[in-house]
Chain A
Amino acid sequence: MGIKILTEHINVPGIETLEVYRKHGGYRSVEKAIKTMTPDEVVEEVKTSGLRGRGGAGFPAGMKWSFLAKPEGVPRYLVCNADESEPGTFKDRVFMEKNPHALIEGMITSSYALGANTSYIYIRGELLFILRILEKAIAEAYAAGLLGKNILGSGYDLDLHVAPGGGAYICGEETALLESLEGKRGNPRNKPPFPAVKGLFQSPTVVNNVETIASVPWIVNNTGAEYAKIGIGRSTGTKLISASGNINRPGVYEIDLGVPVEEFIYSDEYCGGIWKGKQLKAVVPGGSSVPILPADLILKTAAGEQRLMTYESLSDGGFVSGSMLGSGAFIVFDEDQCIVRNTWNYARFYHHESCGQCSPCREGTGWMERVLHRIEHGHGHQQDIDLLVSVAKQIEGNTICPLGDAAAWPVASAIRHFREEFEWHIKHPQEATAPGAVYRGQLAAATV
């Protein structure tokens, strides 16, 4: 069992109150940063820590911070991306619901580092009940002098607000999020300019995921060098994993990056194995948009190395035989799950969530959904599999935001690894559409 940076106190009764949170060491990083460090020193610690964006892209957080433009007389903003909408991901929701002050502390310390005097937490509209929890905690922080004018007598001012979305996956993309925060449709912006130069209200802006921001206090308290000692290689620190699907113990787990995938699935400390004594068929390790891997390739790389829960190990083999850590949404499929049905479900999701701005995505996602729907429902054509591959290829890389890629990858990877199952659906429509029917040929082959 590793160190718990984010979840150590998460189940302490009353941790959502300022009093209990402070009793457990809360807000120490605000004192330390504001009273003893310059903003640049905080940025340096985050750089040293190797902390990478926890929303999915995995971009080094300290580097993102150092790109922030600082023109004289122009306000800068820190915006927390709490629009957690990637299917399979629920770590931020659980975290904010249980320990709101931990995010607020991270927001204050990070805002100080970036020189922001107004910051926002943009939370998906479905989580209005968590917006209330956060607002209550923010009110406590204002009353204690941790927010507002002259924080802790330092001369530093910060206002922090929570803003709700309205139901749109695309608003997790940072420029769509900024549009939404400005009261507009969530259409991603063309880049450049990047938010670091022109973001919220045309001002320099950093957008970071909840978990990224919540990791900053520990780094400030214990130094970036200590943080970098946790994990393996460029995957430093701990990561919240949302485990779901056909496992015995679904939930949010904080792991040291580097835990073997096999241990994560089968250990009683984590997923506790496949439910109902069934066999593992496949895993989507990083949220619905990352490639699905069959059992053999999720446990071991193509080269036969043990697969680890790190950015590097999960992507070992590229898209030919690897996947991505993404947002850490670990979705497990047992032997009774139909890959075609799941792929259709995801395709429907991306079609539903495409903002419609770029034709390849707007048209392509609908096309993939319709073709997958007909295969799943027994009306597939021989050429449909190649058609899907072709449509996915034409979406990928041809849109102004990554939603196009996110829509293409699950389809392309499902066909790459489970082509036989798609073919079976097309060749044996009656059998495939019978209630509860699942193709088992490939599973047997994979486990020999």
Chain B
Amino acid sequence: MSVTFTKMAETINAFKFSDKALAEIQRYISHYPEGRQKSALLPALHVAQAENNGWVSPEAMDAIAEILNIQPIEVYEVATFYTMFNLKPVGKHVLEVCRTGPCCLRGADQMIETFKQKLNIQEGETSADGMFTLKPVECLASCGTGPMLQVRETYYENLDSEEAVDQFLEMMRNKEVETPEWAK
């Protein structure tokens, strides 16, 4: 029986917060009482993900633990609980497609199928060109305009035909990744 060890070089994703990111995390820390800085953990994970090409690496989590003065495990256990945090590398644009009931009544299943065909990937996978990751998510509170999806901080709605999906993909291929408000 052979055991394959991942090469160390592949697991190291050097990470350092930018000054703007650090300022944003400090801003959140200031919202909570003295000694309750751990409350800024979820905001810090969002900041880290935006800084790290759409995913949160172990190194980024360790950096957060250091800033918040908590144990790394406290960051890992939280990052693994919440579905928004991607724990492995993702494509340039993560398509968070709603797969929940109300969107399905308006064609979400077909929309997801269309994405799978056009991008030649399954749910959870990234397209060969590294451009798109297809990530099914649960209800995004946009049921009146389904089927829909989210990319970073933008909703794209009423994707109820192959044509609409085509147009969307075309537009995204030429779109740069959004910069969050605090990084501008």
Q: How many Å lie between the Cα of A423 and that of B124 in the bound state?
A: 33
Most buried by B among A88, A89, A353: A88
Q: How many Å lie between the Cα of A85 and that of B139 in the bound state?
A: 6
Instruction: Give the residue name and chain of the B residue nearest to A251 (CB).
Output: B144
B82 close to A167 (CB less than 8 A)? yes
Q: How many Å lie between the Cα of A165 and that of B41 in the bound state?
A: 10
A164 close to B140 (CB less than 8 A)? no
B82 close to A345 (CB less than 8 A)? no
B138 close to A331 (CB less than 8 A)? no
Q: Is B101 an interface residue (CB 8 A)?
A: yes
B102 close to A244 (CB less than 8 A)? yes
A163 close to B31 (CB less than 8 A)? yes
A166 close to B101 (CB less than 8 A)? no
Q: Is B127 an interface residue (CB 8 A)?
A: no
- The residues of B that contact A84 with a CB separation of less than 8 Å are 141
- The residues of B that contact A341 with a CB separation of less than 8 Å are 104
Interface of chain B residues 76 through 104 with chain A (CB within 8 A): 77-78, 81-85, 96, 99-102, 104
A128 close to B153 (CB less than 8 A)? yes
A85 close to B141 (CB less than 8 A)? yes
Give B71 Cβ to nearest chain A Cβ, in Å: 12
Which of A92, A118, A185, A355 lies in contact with B141, CB distance below 8 A?
A92
Given contacts A125-B42, A166-B85, A182-B38, contact A331 B102 (CB under 8 A): yes
A242 close to B81 (CB less than 8 A)? no
A125 close to B82 (CB less than 8 A)? yes
Q: Is B36 an interface residue (CB 8 A)?
A: yes
Give A205 Cβ to nearest chain B Cβ, in Å: 13
A329 close to B143 (CB less than 8 A)? yes
Give B179 Cβ to nearest chain A Cβ, in Å: 12
Q: Is A127 an interface residue (CB 8 A)?
A: yes
Q: Is B60 an interface residue (CB 8 A)?
A: no
Q: Is B4 an interface residue (CB 8 A)?
A: no
| Interface residues of chain B: helix, strand, loop or mixed (majority) | mixed
A129 close to B154 (CB less than 8 A)? yes
A182 close to B39 (CB less than 8 A)? yes
Instruction: Give the residue name and chain of the A residue nearest to B44 (CB).
Output: A183
Instruction: Give the residue name and chain of the B residue nearest to A187 (CB).
Output: B81
Q: Is A246 an interface residue (CB 8 A)?
A: yes
A345 close to B137 (CB less than 8 A)? no
Which of A75, A167, A245 lies in contact with B83, CB distance below 8 A?
A167
Which of B102, B105, B140, B146 lies in contact with A126, CB distance below 8 A?
B140
Give A422 Cβ to nearest chain B Cβ, in Å: 17
Q: Is A250 an interface residue (CB 8 A)?
A: yes
Given contacts A88-B102, A183-B42, A342-B104, contact A129 B153 (CB under 8 A): yes
A93 close to B141 (CB less than 8 A)? yes
- The residues of B that contact A159 with a CB separation of less than 8 Å are 31
Interface of chain A residues 322 through 367 with chain B (CB within 8 A): 329, 331-333, 337, 341-342, 345-346, 349, 352-353, 355
Instruction: Give the residue name and chain of the A residue nearest to B80 (CB).
Output: A185
Q: How many Å lie between the Cα of A221 and that of B160 in the bound state?
A: 44
Instruction: Give the residue name and chain of the A residue nearest to B108 (CB).
Output: A345
Q: How many Å lie between the Cα of A207 and that of B87 in the bound state?
A: 31
A242 close to B143 (CB less than 8 A)? yes
Interface of chain A residues 239 through 253 with chain B (CB within 8 A): 242-246, 250-252
- The residues of A that contact B26 with a CB separation of less than 8 Å are none
Given contacts A132-B181, A168-B81, A245-B105, contact A86 B139 (CB under 8 A): yes
Which of B40, B74, B84, B106 lies in contact with A167, CB distance below 8 A?
B84
Q: Is A180 an interface residue (CB 8 A)?
A: yes
- The residues of B that contact A86 with a CB separation of less than 8 Å are 139
A244 close to B144 (CB less than 8 A)? yes
Q: Is B43 an interface residue (CB 8 A)?
A: yes
- The residues of A that contact B144 with a CB separation of less than 8 Å are 90, 242-244, 250-252
Interface of chain A residues 102 through 145 with chain B (CB within 8 A): 118, 120, 124-129, 132
Given contacts A86-B139, A250-B144, A353-B138, contact A163 B43 (CB under 8 A): yes
- The residues of B that contact A333 with a CB separation of less than 8 Å are 105
Which of A127, A164, A329 lies in contact with B42, CB distance below 8 A?
A164
Q: How many Å lie between the Cα of A28 and that of B78 in the bound state?
A: 41
Most buried by A among B36, B40, B100, B146: B100
A201 close to B33 (CB less than 8 A)? yes
Instruction: Give the residue name and chain of the A residue nearest to B45 (CB).
Output: A166
Apart from the given pairs A132-B181, A288-B101, A346-B101, 10 other A-B contacts in the complex at a CB distance below 8 Å: A85-B141, A125-B46, A125-B84, A126-B84, A126-B140, A250-B144, A251-B144, A252-B144, A342-B104, A353-B138
Among all A-B residue pairs, the 4 with the closest Cβ atoms: A166-B82, A167-B84, A183-B41, A244-B143
Q: Can you spell out 16 A-B residue pairs with CB atoms less than 8 angstroms apart?
A: A86-B139, A87-B102, A87-B143, A89-B143, A93-B142, A164-B46, A167-B83, A169-B139, A183-B42, A183-B78, A184-B41, A246-B106, A329-B102, A329-B143, A337-B105, A342-B105
Residues of B within 8 A of A (CB): 28, 31, 33, 36, 38-43, 45-46, 68, 74, 77-78, 81-85, 96, 99-102, 104-106, 137-146, 150, 153-155, 180-181
